Amino acid sequence: MVVVTVQYFVPLVIIIICYARIIYMLSRKLDLDSNNLNEGLSQIEQRQRNIFMLAKRNTLKTLIIVAVCFLACWTQNQVQYFMYLIGFMVDWNSTYFKFGWTIIFVNCTINPFVYLTLYKDFHTALGALFGCKKSEGDTSFDSKSQATSMSTVFPPASTPGTAAT
């Protein structure tokens, strides 16, 4: 029973807690900003608010996709192991059992693909990591033009003795 808890429920709870914390912090930022009426916000403040709203929505979508992938990949194996623990006969050499282990290994590789499809900045950074260059006229992966670019939300910090730009 400890194995099922440690391998299945603990990681699932950690995933949910981490993403819930991110969503809470984004919501809190949005709530603090909502004290100022939208009409009174400057164009930059309104854009930042929209970016936070988009980030909150994207984070929630990512949480759901990552949690569903985790459940889809791990549930079959954990149910089979739990059945063994409560006394059912389990064929450890069956194709069903081997398939369960295969999809567990797939789960180890699925998150980068989730991020790759959901976030253009991740796509751009991954391309840069592997030395892929965009073509001359291609601006589809220009992170500076993305509405979710965090540099517009968090301007560069100033160092002591200098002013922030």
| Mean local confidence (pLDDT), 160-165 | 48
pLDDT tens-place string over residues 123-161: 888 888 888 765 444 455 444 444 444 444 444 444 455
Domains in the chain: boundaries: 2-111, 119-155
Is 84's pLDDT higher than 60? Answer: yes
pTM of the model: 0.62
pLDDT of residue 99: 92
Question: Phi first, then psi: what are they for 131, rounded to 5°?
Answer: 75, 15
Residues in Cβ contact with 2 at an 8 Å cutoff, skipping those fewer than 6 apart: none
In the chain, the percentage of residues whose pLDDT exceeds 90 is: 10
- DSSP for 63-122 reads HHHHHHHHHHHHHHHHHHHHHHHTT----TTSHHHHHHHHHHHHHHHHHHHHHHHH-HHH
Question: Model confidence at 34, in pLDDT bands (50, 70, 90)?
Answer: low
Determine the straight-line distance between the first and last CA of the chain, rounded to whole angstroms: 56
Better pLDDT: 150 or 43: 43
